[in-house]
Amino acid sequence: MKEECSSNSNIIEINCFSLEALEEMVNYLYTGKSPNMDKMALEMLGIGDKYKLQQLKLMAEESMVHNLSIKNACNYLVCGELYLVKF
């Protein structure tokens, strides 16, 4: 996971999340909504945690609870522990 900011430019490289997730974050920052949350909940949880976007993190947690299944339970548990989600 690497982020860089050059003092000579206005470019910030963020390599720890997918382009789609970053676009979703920007959409959330402008609108307060995340229409693709169900598809991107795990990445949005990470983004919310990393950038201290508590409402986004909460939205991701709620989406994960709503979409919890046997197929994704282990992934959700690991991510929940990684990002200190209160169960």
Q: What is the dihedral of CA 76, 43, 35, 29, to 10 degrees?
A: 130
Whether 14 maps to a domain, the answer reads no
Q: What is the number of structural domains in the chain?
A: 1
Q: Residue 24 maps to which CATH number?
A: 3.30.710.10
- Terminal-residue alpha carbon distance, the chain: 26
Whether 69 maps to a domain, the answer reads yes
Domain that residue 49 falls in? 19-82
pTM: 0.83
Whether 66 maps to a domain, the answer reads yes
Whether 29 maps to a domain, the answer reads yes
Angle at 53 between CA 24 and CA 45, to 5 degrees: 60
Whether 8 maps to a domain, the answer reads no
**Cα 80 to Cα 9: distance, rounded to the nearest angstrom:** 36
Whether 6 maps to a domain, the answer reads no
Read off the tokens for 23.
Answer: 């676009």
> Is the pLDDT reported for residue 51 higher than 80?
yes
**What pLDDT sits at residue 12?**
77
